[in-house]
Structure 1
């Protein structure tokens, strides 16, 4: 018997699934299956096949096991009738195998007439030609193909179902992830809002605490000022009581002296010559006594009238009208008592320095030092490094042993005040730079600050602050009054008011730049505390007019921003007084010359310039570091 190798006419693997569940068949297995198929097909076979003796497959002669599987080749044309009987789900690609190999079968007649015969004739011919083996093999092959198709179809359906379930699970998981992300974002948003709210509350609490601290400091400062004022008032009263006591004692002594003089006169009458000589002596004594009671009026260098007192508290002078002149002169000066006291102290130090320098004034070799000081002042720029370098150079010049320090300080103070004659001081950046420069120098040479202030007070009375009203009884002429308040004379004429006001603006601009200067590590000897005191003294004592309005506006433009940052609500109260009472008093004067300065003050408050940092307030090095 010839060995037949059958091969399934389909792909050996489809998506990893083998069409033959047991590819390693042996002959015994095939024979057993063929016998079983023959029994099953007896009833379904044609009539002529039923009469045929069934074939008996035995493996008695073949007791070996085939190592290779059966190879079955079926023609494409032979499978057409199988496709007709199939359910329509058979894959044509599975039937593109090679021809069914069977050497004992002669299919030449079937191949020649395959277009003419129908399916039943071919089947009958094959059965008659080849016998039952071919039919069994054919049925076995068909059943195997159906089983493989069904298994593939089941596997594919299971895979599709798994894929659908997996997609559904992925979609559900994606929805859960999106929900979790939305919940996470919402939680982050709530936490961020809560954190921002906490930061805002903490910042508000901090600012409130800082404001309370500033208010407490302001209250303490006001209380200190009031205490100082009360102490000065008590001290003044004590001095007045002491002076009154001294006058009473002196009057008592004078009365006793007069009694003694009377006794001497009575005794002198005993002799004519003796009486005449004693009478002349008594007349001389009475004249000397009366001379000590007469008031003399003196005029200072800038025309301000002052009363001089002797050691016993009596006013010295000559003339019968001296007391009335003192009264009228006092009424012309408008200033706070503390301001006048501070001015007297500063001018006293200035006079002491002038007395020291009086012996050196004839030396012309000091002029080169004065030129060097003026050159350093004119070389100042807005840079912090430039200011420090120029200040260091100037301190070296002041401490030069070849020139007395008192002379260098006096020259420095005069050069500082002379800067106000320069029109460039009107620019705020230049004023701030010079203010920082003066603070650097005076922090190393403290005496220089008093002399600079004295020069300011001599050049501009509003830096004290004080104002002098015109009075015919106090001044011989209007020119004398103008000279007293600071007008300059040129060519035998007094300068116009506009020129004088421009100089007042320059003086007040530089003065305000000095008092508002605050430098880390540098102590300003005339700092913001003095700026606050200047404002209080100004508003308490000075009247509202053209001169005081120009001085006040120039001061506020430079130091208003810094004062607001320092004193906050307390400074706003002062601003309310200026925008209310002071401005109302200016308008009540009805002077057309005041329209311009009134408009400038209103613009200052309407645009809230005190909230805007002036140009040049910070050194350039600080600005560059901030922007970087």
Structure 2
């Protein structure tokens, strides 16, 4: 038995190449599969299937015909047997020619199929080896494709992770750059702030040097002016002292040009200017009947004003509330303006009758009344004339004025009524009670005069008080009533006058000490010793240097509270307070 050398057919196109791709591998695998030879069958087809013309012998088929008609049923058996033996011949030539003529059919005679063709053992082994080799190649290609796909997926994942790391690194670098930028800007701001601070400090130092030079120059100029003013003041003081001495010599004279006494036998001590002002105010006051509060139409309005004033206490809240109520009551809506002003003045001055004037609390109450009167008259200016007219009516020393009876016949009930005596239990008021009322009215008048609120003008302020004091000393005689009135005025307004006028006020006190008090002492028993001692103690103890009790509350608390309220009312109304007459 001879052995044949076998060699496996291995496609050279599958040799590995250094620059292969996935597409090249797939192409090579498909090409190798297509080139592999088809398997050869082990058995050869029989000889009868390979040659000969199949159309040489015709196919014969016999068919027996059956007659189902009733007539044929009666046919004899012989005829039936003859028909059965007779056959019909069919030829397939036409059919075959039809197949030959058709171009759509495949000619099977060119590739005969042999089912049982015999082959040699070597060919069979070679066929099996080729099949195994083909399957092995397919398996290798399939495994290589899967490994390449896995590598491709891994490469994609590595690329994605690398890109993510790169993006994260870029973000971290951006954050670091941002922090560095913020730190850099902060350093720049700190350096700039230090530079500006140095520039500002240098500027302040230069400004201080310039201001110091200006102050030094101003101090030199001020010293020169002060020396000059001191010299001029000494000359003026000497001149004023001489004028004051000359004016005090005529203190008991009457300057009543064009003024007549209301009753015969009565001498009027007053200044003509003061009498003219009193006459004008009394005429305005008398336009409204004195008994207007008794009418049914205005009695309720009068009680409302009196009730509001009766609630007044020397506290900030009370003063604020009462002033607001009275300003609202005087707006002229519920009552005519003139009648409202008259009722307000009557009720405000009558507080002397309703309160205990001998009590120590009357002083703080008088200051509270002064601030209420200022706040109301600042919004209703016409009310001040009615207040002053009411003051002059109840106390002539608020003018200032004094009526002196020249004889006993003139000292009748009308005279006492004119000077301010009132009836008590259908009897004339006692002198002691009269002096108590005089002191109370003058205190209330002085409290109103000395009241000051920063930023709020006073229609009858300290300037009028200074005039009153000068006219009082120049025209009124030194008697018990005038002594009590002067002491009451100085006790309430002396501190404010001293703060404003200083040395000029001291000259007034000097006139009182050298002229007024000696004139009181010359009258002997006609003047009460208490009147002289009270004035002398006021001067000796320098009471004018001490702030009166109750004034501090109004001065330092109300000045802020009511200025804000007044500004608010002015802002909301859009205009400043004006007179009702306008």
- What are the Cα deviations for residues 295-317 of structure 1, in whole angstroms up to 9, with x where unaligned? xx99xxxxx607xxxxxxxxxxx
1:418 matched to which residue of 2?
Answer: 350
Spell out, residue by residue over 1:528-578, the C-alpha distance to the aligned partner (whole angstroms, 9 max, x if none): 111011011111110000010000000000000100111111111111001
Asked if 1 retains the 8 angstrom alpha-carbon contact of 2:453 and 2:555, the reply is no
TM-score (norm 1): 0.47
1:622 aligns with 2:561: no
Post-superposition offset of 1:404: 1.5
Distance across 2 between alignment mates of 1:207 and 1:450: 43
Q: What SS class does the counterpart of residue 318 from structure 2 fall into?
A: helix
1:449 aligns with 2:370: no
Residue 371 of structure 1, aligned match among 287, 303, 308: 303
Counterpart CA distance in 2 for 1:565 and 1:415 is 32
The equivalent residue for 1:337 is 272
* Residues 1:305 and 2:262 are matched in the alignment: yes
2:480 matched to which residue of 1?
Answer: 546
1:605 and 2:562 are equivalent in the alignment: no
> Counterpart of 1:482?
416
Residue 506 of structure 1, aligned match among 440, 456, 477: 440
Say how many residue pairs are matched.
327
Deviation at 1:589, TM superposition (A): 0.6
Aligned equivalents of 1:438 and 1:624: distance in 2?
Answer: 13
Residues 407 and 503 of structure 1, relative CA distance in 2, 3 Å threshold = same
Task: Note if 1:390 corresponds to 2:325.
Answer: no
Tell me, what secondary structure is at the counterpart of 1:375?
helix
CA contact under 8 A between 1:215 and 1:570: conserved in structure 2?
no
Alignment-derived partner of residue 367 in structure 2: 432
Instruction: Give, in angstroms, the shift of residue 208 of structure 1.
Output: 5.9
CA RMSD of aligned residues (A): 4.0
Residues of 1 paired with 2:525 and 2:376: CA distance? Answer: 43
**Aligned-pair CA distance for 1:621:** 8.0
Deviation at 1:601, TM superposition (A): 1.0
Q: 1:446 to 1:494 in 2, by over 3 A?
A: same
Deviation at 1:398, TM superposition (A): 1.4
- Do 2:396 and 2:419's aligned partners in 1 also have CA atoms closer than 8 Å? yes
Q: Distance in 2 between matches of 1:541 and 1:473?
A: 23
Tell me how far apart the structure 2 counterparts of residues 405 and 624 of structure 1 sit (CA, whole Å). 27
Name stretches of at least 5 consecutive residues in structure 1 with no aligned partner.
Answer: 1-193, 227-238, 241-296, 299-303, 307-324
Given that residues 383 and 621 in structure 1 are in contact (C-alpha distance below 8 angstroms), is that contact kept between their aligned partners in structure 2?
no
Which of 1 and 2 has greater Rg?
2
For residues 475 and 546 of structure 2, the distance between their equivalents in structure 1, rounded to whole angstroms, comes to 29
1:533 alignment partner in structure 2? 467
Map 1:160-559 to 2 at 5 A.
Answer: 305=262, 325=264, 328-329=265-266, 332-354=267-289, 363-421=295-353, 422-424=355-357, 427-472=362-407, 475=410, 477-559=411-493
Query: TM-score, normalised on structure 2?
Result: 0.50
d(CA) in 2 for partners of 1:202, 1:514: 42
* Alignment deviations for residues 89-113 of structure 1 (CA, whole Å, 9 cap, x no partner): xxxxxxxxxxxxxxxxxxxxxxxxx
| Residues in 2 aligned to 1:353 and 1:203: alpha-carbon distance in whole angstroms | 59
The reply on whether 1:577 has 2:511 as its aligned counterpart is yes
In structure 2, the residue matched to 1:564 is 498
Partner-residue secondary structure (3-state), 1:333: strand
**Shift in CA distance, 350/604, structure 1 to aligned 2, threshold 3 Å:** same
CA contact (8 A) 1:215 1:567 kept: no
Q: Could you say if the C-alpha distance between residues 484 and 619 of structure 1 is closer, same or farther in structure 2, counting changes exceeding 3 Å?
A: same
1:493 to partner: Cα distance? 2.2
Q: Which has the higher contact order (CA 8 A, sep 6+)?
A: 2
Structure 2 runs not aligned, ≥5 long: 1-211, 245-256, 561-582
Separation in structure 1 between the aligned mates of residue 475 and residue 533 of structure 2, nearest angstrom: 23
Is this contact kept in 2: 1:443–1:522, CA < 8 A?
yes
